[in-house]
Amino acid sequence: MTRSYGGGPERQKKKQPDLKEGDAPEWQSRLDSPSVSSPDESLIEPVRIDFGKRMVAGVIDFFCAYGVNVVVGLIPLINQIISFQLVMVLILIVRDWLYEGRGIGKNLMGLQVVDVRTGQPCTLIQSIKRNIIMFGPPFVLYIVITVLNIMRLFKLPGVTMISGIGMDVINNLGFLYLLIVIPSEAYRAYNRPDGRRLGDEFAGTTIVEAPMDFGAPFPRQ
């Protein structure tokens, strides 16, 4: 797997002393070494990325997730069990792991999610942690809907009434949560000098500028 050094402008790397000709930057030698000298020391200095790029990347990811969801919805029996929103939310949670931290939207916009400490691409676990704040509660709610659908499929007593009421409540709760948390996270990304939202702080990640690369949809990690 090709290593990522953040892919961003030079200001995203910690400032280093003047180098003599032929000397390697300190941050590169630290990355190439077997271990980082200190767990609290960061290789990447987070900076605020153009907010317009991030918004467009998010919209692209949403429509890609919606498209996959529509395809899954065409599969017989599966479309009677899995909640319409469940597939979308699952894809949005793991999207930053694809294409070595780029996903689809960020890839097209020249962005990448990297580990703020090492500069390596976002891992699957980091992608889940990064997006769980926004989509975790709705994901759990839509799993409940899926369970209700399974119960209804097997015609368990009293499930019809529970399903009808429960789905309306769950859908409303999921929408209300997203209505609150997404603008809040977007405001942090727009307003903070480092451009990091709560999900980035929880996952230990940041967004940097990087070249487009659709070569490895599922990174080997």
What band does 36 get if pLDDT is binned at 50, 70 and 90? very low
pLDDT at 107 over 50: yes
Q: Quick one: pLDDT at residue 84?
A: 74
Q: Which residues pair with 44 in a beta bridge?
A: 13
Q: Note whether residue 48 is domain-resident.
A: yes
3-state secondary structure at position 207: strand
**Residue 107 to residues 10, 168, 218: CA-CA distances in angstroms?**
20, 36, 14
Domain span at residue 137 reads: 42-209
Q: Note whether residue 220 is domain-resident.
A: no
What would the pLDDT profile of 1-25 be if each residue is shown by its tens digit? 444 444 454 445 444 445 455 454 4
What would the pLDDT profile of 173-214 be if each residue is shown by its tens digit? 888 888 999 999 999 999 999 999 999 999 999 999 999 999
Give the chain's mean pLDDT.
Answer: 79
Q: Which long-range contacts (CB under 8 A, 24 or more apart) does 216-220 make?
A: 216/1, 216/99, 216/100, 217/98, 217/99, 218/98, 219/1, 219/97, 219/98, 219/99, 219/100, 219/101, 219/121, 220/1
What would the pLDDT profile of 117-161 be if each residue is shown by its tens digit? 999 999 999 999 999 999 998 898 888 888 877 777 777 665 555
DSSP, residue by residue, 71-97: HHHTSTTHHHHS-HHHHHHHHHHHGGG
Q: Note whether residue 218 is domain-resident.
A: no
Q: Quick one: pLDDT at residue 24?
A: 47
Q: What is the pTM of this model?
A: 0.74
Q: Note whether residue 23 is domain-resident.
A: no
pLDDT, mean of residues 45-54: 90
Q: Note whether residue 1 is domain-resident.
A: no
Q: Note whether residue 74 is domain-resident.
A: yes
Q: Note whether residue 174 is domain-resident.
A: yes
pLDDT at 69 over 70: yes
Q: Quick one: pLDDT at residue 147?
A: 80
Q: Quick one: pLDDT at residue 175?
A: 83
Count how many domains the chain has: 1
Q: Rounded distance, CA 56 to CA 60, Å?
A: 6
Distance spanning both ends of the chain, measured CA to CA: 8
Q: Note whether residue 31 is domain-resident.
A: no
